[in-house]
Amino acid sequence: MQRRVVITAASAITPIGHGREDILRSLREGYSGVKPLRQDDLLAPFIHSQVFGTVDYPIPFDFKRVNRKTMGPVSYYACQVAKEVLEASGLEQEFITSGRLGVAFGSTHGSPTVQRDIYKVFHSRDRAGVSSIGAVDYLKSMVHTTAVNITKMFGITGRVIASSTACTTSSQSIGFGYEAVRYGMQDAMLCGGADEYDTTTVAVFDNLLACSTAFNDEPGRTPRPFDVRRDGLVVGEGAGAVLLEEYESARRRGATILAEVVGFACNNNGGDLILPNLAGIRETLRLALRDADMAPDEIDLVSAHATATKMGDIIEAQAISAVYGDRPLVTALKSYMGHTMASCGVIETILILYMMQEGFVAPTLNLEEVDERCAMIRHVPSLVKTPVRAAAVQNFAFGGVNTGLILRKEP
């Protein structure tokens, strides 16, 4: 059985806004969500990179205590976007709890905020401190905390897939959700990812010399994907969720269809866990096209992973060129908000959906002078008004994991 899979609702909390209108405004106006790194009592003062893709606006969480009690900050984000998606979907409560709806949702490593509090207790060597570890600390911090807090809040009884593959977490969530619906294992899947503010993630990339440091005094001018002055990634926070449904049943119930997911691929480089790998990435892009049964020239827009690292952007440009040539527009959406880690795949998918609906492509921010080693693809230095019939969203992660998603506007 192979069924068609459509996206019928989407929501995102991002450094450039919460919800469709905020995000579209930021994309049109070239607003950057990169701000000074939040200071804390841990590592922040020692980190060279002092920029962060920041969610700095209030979010009206309205969760009952029975749900809040097992949530760290990452699950607040996750449950908020899940709630907005389910409300927008118009799905009946009976369906939501029927077992026909599943959840594919992940984060990089649960809630580091809660984990840090536990570690502080461990190192206190204080018996009273140990007994102060709360009964819910594990539930708040565990890797699958986002997925299961969503199931609990909404009474979802279908399958749970809790990807945790760093930067490909939420693109895997969408891809595995798509496969679950396509092959008839679920009729719908709530898919996405989230990551909360986390200084330790910044420290890790900072120590790898992978973070941007040259624009600490001008946060909005970094990251700079494909630009000759790019100097590394900017870590960020955020969340996104999409609802995937089987096409015929979505159409029958009169759901708004935002786009069709027509292809997904996921592979591994089979070697180094950090260095980008041209062969692995190129193969992912080809496998996604094959799964979609589409030719490269049917893709109008590529959403590049493009973290603005020195080598990563070059390898990705080479892979795009090898698979697509220079026909499709290529935009790098991390330029607006930094690298939102586990949520980047779903957030970038949602931004592409919005732009497909509105008929424009947002430019890669801060792309002032294209690095000649990345110049073989069709960059978007300024906003382009154009219909986008099909788009590719690609993401790559530490561990050598690569994903490719193919979206089509009209089912």
Partner 1 sequence: MTREAIEAEIRRIFLQEFEIEDPAMDVDLREAYQFDSIDAIELLVEIERFLGSELTMEEKKRAMDIRTVRQICSYVEELVRARRPGGSLPIGDLCKEGS
- Residues making contact with partner 1 (CB under 8 A): 64-66, 69-70, 128, 131, 134-136, 139
Question: CA dihedral in degrees (202, 200, 150, 2; nearest 10)?
Answer: 50
Compute the least distance from the CB of residue 158 to partner 1, in Å.
Answer: 21
- Of 64 and 125, the one with the shorter C-beta distance to partner 1 is 64
Give the Cα separation of 247 and 254 in Å (integer): 11
- Of 146 and 335, the one with the shorter C-beta distance to partner 1 is 146
- Of 121 and 375, the one with the shorter C-beta distance to partner 1 is 121
Compute the least distance from the CB of residue 393 to partner 1, in Å.
Answer: 38
- Whether 238 and 13 have beta carbons less than 8 Å apart is answered as yes
Compute the least distance from the CB of residue 115 to partner 1, in Å.
Answer: 18
- Of 65 and 385, the one with the shorter C-beta distance to partner 1 is 65
Sign (positive/negative) of CA torsion 138, 165, 18, 5? negative
Compute the least distance from the CB of residue 145 to partner 1, in Å.
Answer: 14
Instruction: Provide CB contacts within 8 A for 128, sequence distance 6+.
Output: none
- Whether 385 and 375 have beta carbons less than 8 Å apart is answered as no
- Of 42 and 133, the one with the shorter C-beta distance to partner 1 is 133
At 348 the three-state DSSP class reads helix
Give the Cα separation of 242 and 231 in Å (integer): 32
- Of 67 and 403, the one with the shorter C-beta distance to partner 1 is 67
CA distances from 35 to 57, 282, 304 (A): 12, 33, 22
Compute the least distance from the CB of residue 149 to partner 1, in Å.
Answer: 13
Question: Looking at the chain, how many residues does it have?
Answer: 411
- Of 155 and 387, the one with the shorter C-beta distance to partner 1 is 155
Compute the least distance from the CB of residue 377 to partner 1, in Å.
Answer: 52
Which tokens is 260 given? 């069709």
Instruction: Provide CB contacts within 8 A for 4, sequence distance 6+.
Output: 182, 246, 247, 248, 260, 411
Compute the least distance from the CB of residue 152 to partner 1, in Å.
Answer: 10
